[in-house]
Amino acid sequence: MDDDTAFRTELRNNDCYLGGAKVLDRVVWKKIGFENTVVLPEDAAAYDAALKDTAGPVKREQSAELPELSSVVFSIVAMIATEDFWLTPCCFWKGPTTYTPAFSDLKLSCRLVAPADPVFAGDFETVLKNIETLMARAATVGNTKRGIFGPKESTQASIKLRHVVFEDKLPGKSEDAKGYQLLDWPVRSIEAQQALQKMDATHRVNVVPAYDVEGNLISPTQYVSALKGAVVRADLTLLHWHIGRDRRDAYVAEIAAIRVLVTPKVARTPSPRKRNSTVAATDSGLSPVKKSRRA
């Protein structure tokens, strides 16, 4: 069995591979705070049982005693589309916009489309159907659906991934000096640089967990050259919000990790990387390279 075949086999046997036919039987939606996310049924059951034992509203000091509910991390293989690609460090932000009123609200995004590989291209069709089914399970009757699929697509053909760039600093928690410092985040405009100065005391950088073929963290300045048009293993979580005032169901596919499997046709040599304290410096997930090293 060659490396590519072994990689396909192991990935497709993964319970959380979104291209699998039975993955929907293994997950459920669960509300965590103000959002719904996809979790394992046994985790949801344990949480509900513990919640029932509290006999009343959960107080702040009790919430830490409840079982942790973690979102299921799904995996798929796809190509990052060259169009609608917004995985750039600052998205050319020059001031308030409708979608990004403040620089601290910045969210990066890209679209996944079917790869050329016939096996994974077929699986991608299953991925689209599975996501559509999961969205329907969380949908509110009478609401419109927004997010994940392209609004102009007559039939689902791509998946939008999102990444939140900046996070609030936690009180009393010191930042790792080895982490990517907020003021070092690459920006192109004076407005964005000024915004970083104002955010330095309140926010931290959440680097995209994107890794090259060898599993090394990709520098933010190399996102375009290393990811645009690449075939990747994308790990993602699914989120849902019911927005009553607009009678709308909003869905998001959040990036958990991206691992390049096949580089874009034109790829540049990566520049030196600065490691983020909360993002792993290497990716240990499945890839043909990893399979080769095991042999």
- 186 located within any domain: no
Q: pLDDT at position 266, please? A: 65
- 180 located within any domain: no
**Distances in Å between the alpha carbon of 233 and those of 10, 101, 142, 227, 269?**
13, 32, 35, 11, 21
Q: Which amino acid is at 21?
A: A
We report the CATH number of the domain holding residue 47 as: 2.40.50
Query: What parts of the chain have a pLDDT lower than 50?
Result: 59-62, 177-178, 272-277, 292-295
Q: Extract the tokens encoding 92.
A: 């050319």
**Domain region containing 223:** 3-53+68-86+109-166+205-294
Structural domain count, the chain: 1
Q: pLDDT at position 289, please? A: 63
92: exposed, middle or buried (C-beta count within 10 Å: 0-12, 13-18, 19+)?
Answer: exposed
Q: pLDDT at position 288, please? A: 75
- 197 located within any domain: no
Q: The pTM is what? A: 0.84
Q: Give the residue among 115, 95, 114 at the shortest CA–CA distance from 105.
A: 95
Neighbours of 201 (CB within 10 A): 8
Q: Give the residue among 35, 36, 63 at the shortest CA–CA distance from 50.
A: 63
- 248 located within any domain: yes
Residues 6 or more apart from 111 whose CB is under 8 A from it? 80, 81, 83, 84, 85, 150, 158, 159, 160, 161
Q: pLDDT at position 60, please? A: 41
Q: pLDDT at position 290, please? A: 55
- Alpha-carbon gap, residue 44 to 190, rounded angstroms: 47
Q: pLDDT at position 23, please? A: 94
Neighbours of 55 (CB within 10 A): 6
Cα dihedral across residues 283, 285, 291, 295: positive or negative: positive
With beta carbons less than 8 A apart as the criterion, state whether 159 and 127 touch.
yes
Q: pLDDT at position 177, please? A: 38
With beta carbons less than 8 A apart as the criterion, state whether 64 and 227 touch.
no
- 43 located within any domain: yes
Per the listing, tokens 């069995």 go with 1
60: exposed, middle or buried (C-beta count within 10 Å: 0-12, 13-18, 19+)?
Answer: exposed
- 160 located within any domain: yes
The alpha carbon of residue 58 and the mean position of all alpha carbons in its chain are separated, in whole angstroms, by 30
- 236 located within any domain: yes
Q: pLDDT at position 154, please? A: 55
- 143 located within any domain: yes
